[in-house]
């Protein structure tokens, strides 16, 4: 029996998932993503490229050892977080540490860009608003802080491309990962020579860009020994984690919104053509290439699950996965509106459309009678309002109405929060049976690229299966509408002045 393997190198966890010819999981395994703190980084977490490869190789081996005799991994693909990358020398060895996608040390480079290109022009080329998180600013920071490394640099690879390279020995990237670099010409689907010239960055440093689903190469003898895969197994170009999840969720037409709820929460709608209207840069939204062929997306993201995790640690005094469950149980004890307590969730700055890395978080309107449960409920509601604000601006920019939200990621396990979100959004939320949608999306791409499926329509008809649907509760939705309009939308502009 042929199986297809999807790998997901995420901010919090690394996952491997095998799916069958029905697109359904057969076996899966997960482990925490290893981080390190170096003397150079201070308190900022970083990744070690060799350690990430060893972690993924070990996951693959552990998974393949559980498969039944006669089962063959017929293809695999890799998904990962965007923006972060590995700088390698001509022998394939990493030269510098890997910055996390959210590393704030690159913020000073934003002013460098402002002095050289208008945000509207940058958006017209790349589909991205100017932001410190993208690969371009990371490359500049690394070049400034590790000047001895760049004369030996041979290639810059996103994390999914790094794992693909270790499996195949071939340099490549997906359109969807290139879309997260601030170096990619979205119209032409190739690296922007104008931007590279402005940065004084050699074009040869960037790998060939291809659509998701193309064959990147085949498993080398070295990689076969490290992973337990058969030598020659095709490795398919995967992509950016949120966009791989969108494919698995069936979010490839404008009527279905993807809500990818993890450490960061991303809202995505699918486009048939990219949007380059004047003023789009000011929205903070991102336009890029979808993992679905000849499709694009409009996406905005903010720190949501990470904020809830922080609140959980503060209020429950627990620092483990059960802390969020405890927080949700506390939040249930408080009535809708948290007895008047209110929370602004900008612990990592504010997201689109009011991007401001200096924004603060706060509990407001507190009284002596407020309890821990009220603070917990206020936090869940405040984060939900911020996601609604993001969603409204995405739909306004895309100029269409959607009918359904499909939520994927670790946040789907928090049932209370999903119901609050459905009521705050005023739109039903559907969650899938498969919890690892990014890994499933990568596995489906592997199946498409290696001939397991003939077209995406077949994949989408098989892959997505509903688990829980959170319907809008009209009375609660009306009350949330009032709180959103009268408090949330009015508080942020006032608070920003402080």
Q: Is the pLDDT of residue 357 over 80?
A: no
The predicted structure's pLDDT at residue 430? 95
* pLDDT category of residue 352 using cuts at 50, 70 and 90: confident
Q: What is the pTM of this model?
A: 0.88
| Tokens of residue 7, six digits | 């790998």
pLDDT confidence of residue 50: 97
The token duo for 101 is 């996608």
CA distance 82 to 299: 13
**Domains of the chain, residue spans:** 2-243
**Residue whose structure tokens are 């022009």:** 121
Question: Residue 409 pLDDT > 90, yes or no?
Answer: no
Per-residue pLDDT reduced to its tens digit, 373-404 = 999 999 999 999 999 999 999 998 888 788 88
| Tokens describing residue 250 | 């069936």
Distance CA 15, CA 413 (A): 17
What is the CB neighbour count within 10 angstroms for residue 98?
24
Percent of the chain topping pLDDT 70: 99
Residue 2 scores a pLDDT above 80: yes
Instruction: Please enumerate in sequence order all residues whose Cβ is within 8 A of that of 493, keeping only pairs 6 or more positions apart, or say none.
Output: none
Is residue 353 reached through a cis peptide bond, with omega within 30 degrees of 0 on the bond before it?
A: yes
Using the structure block, give the residue that is written with the tokens 């948290």. 338
CB 176 within 8 A of CB 290: yes
- Residue 455 pLDDT greater than 80, yes or no: no
CATH class of 2-243: alpha beta
The predicted pLDDT at position 282 comes to 86
pLDDT at 39: 67
Q: What is the pLDDT of residues 235-266, one digit of tens each?
A: 999 999 989 999 999 888 888 999 988 888 88
Chain-wide mean pLDDT for the chain? Answer: 93
- Where is pLDDT greater, at 412 or 223? 223
Q: Dihedral sign, CA of 118, 386, 300, 255?
A: negative
Q: What is the pLDDT of residue 34?
A: 93
R_g of the chain computed on alpha carbons: 22
Question: Which pLDDT belongs to residue 41?
Answer: 62
Phi, psi of 275, deg, nearest 5: -105, 125
pLDDT confidence of residue 286:
94
Query: Tens digits of per-residue pLDDT, 467-486?
Result: 999 999 999 999 999 999 99
**pLDDT computed for residue 394 by the predictor:** 93
Mean per-residue pLDDT for 136-154?
95
* pLDDT surpasses 90 at 37: no
In the DSSP assignment, the letter for residue 486 is: I
Q: State how far the Cα of 258 lies from the Cα of 33, in Å rounded to an integer.
A: 24
Residue 179: what pLDDT? Answer: 97
User: Phi and psi (nearest 5°) for 107?
Assistant: -55, -40
Token representation of residue 109: 């480079």
440: tokens are 């499933």
Q: Which pLDDT score, from 0 to 100, does residue 42 have? A: 66
Nearest to 291 by CA among 439, 442, 408: 442
């Amino acid at each position: 029996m042929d199986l297809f393997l999807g790998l997901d190198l995420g901010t919090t966890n690394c996952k491997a998932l095998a799916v069958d010819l029905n697109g359904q999981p057969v076996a899966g395994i997960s482990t925490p993503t290893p981080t390190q703190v170096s003397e150079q980084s201070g308190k900022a977490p970083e990744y070690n490229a060799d350690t990430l490869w060893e972690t993924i190789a070990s996951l693959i081996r552990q998974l393949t050892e559980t498969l039944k005799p006669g089962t063959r991994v017929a293809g695999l693909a890799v998904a990962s977080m965007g923006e972060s990358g590995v700088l390698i020398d001509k022998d394939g060895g990493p030269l510098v540490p890997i910055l996390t996608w959210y590393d704030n040390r690159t913020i000073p480079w934003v002013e460098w860009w402002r002095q050289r290109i208008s945000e509207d022009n940058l958006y017209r080329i790349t589909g991205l608003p100017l932001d410190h998180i993208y690969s371009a600013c990371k490359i500049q920071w690394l070049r400034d802080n590790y000047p001895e490394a760049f004369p030996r640099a041979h290639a810059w690879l996103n994390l999914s491309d790094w794992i693909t390279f270790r499996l195949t020995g071939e340099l490549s990237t997906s359109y969807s990962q290139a879309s997260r670099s601030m170096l990619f010409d979205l119209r032409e689907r190739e690296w922007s020579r104008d931007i590279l010239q402005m940065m004084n960055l050699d074009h040869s440093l960037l790998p060939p860009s291809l659509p998701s689903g193309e064959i990147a190469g085949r498993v080398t003898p070295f990689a076969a020994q490290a992973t337990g895969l058969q030598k020659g197994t095709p490795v398919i170009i995967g992509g950016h984690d949120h966009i791989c999840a969108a494919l698995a969720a069936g979010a490839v037409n404008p009527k279905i919104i993807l809500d990818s709820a993890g450490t960061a929460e991303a809202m995505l709608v699918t486009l048939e053509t990219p949007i380059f209207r004047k003023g789009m840069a000011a929205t903070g939204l991102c336009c890029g290439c979808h993992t679905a062929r000849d499709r694009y997306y409009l996406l905005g993201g903010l720190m949501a699950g990470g904020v809830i995790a922080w609140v959980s640690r503060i209020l429950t005094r627990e620092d483990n996965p059960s802390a969020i469950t405890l927080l949700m149980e506390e939040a249930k004890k408080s009535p809708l509106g948290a007895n008047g307590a209110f929370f602004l969730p900008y612990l990592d700055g504010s997201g689109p459309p009011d991007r401001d890395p200096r924004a603060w978080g706060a509990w407001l309107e507190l009284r002596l009678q407020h309890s821990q449960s009220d603070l917990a409920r206020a936090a869940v509601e405040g984060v939900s309002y911020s996601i609604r604000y993001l969603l409204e601006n995405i739909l306004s920019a895309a100029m269409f109405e959607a009918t359904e939200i499909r939520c994927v990621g670790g946040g789907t396990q928090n049932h209370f929060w999903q119901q609050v979100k459905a009521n705050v959004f005023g739109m039903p939320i559907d969650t899938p049976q498969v919890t690892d949608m990014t890994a499933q999306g990568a596995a489906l791409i592997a199946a498409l690229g290696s001939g397991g499926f003939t077209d995406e329509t077949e994949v989408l008809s098989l892959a997505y299966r509903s688990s829980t649907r959170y319907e809008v509760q009209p009375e609660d939705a009306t009350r949330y509408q009032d709180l959103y309009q009268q408090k949330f939308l009015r508080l942020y502009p006032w608070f920003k002045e402080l």
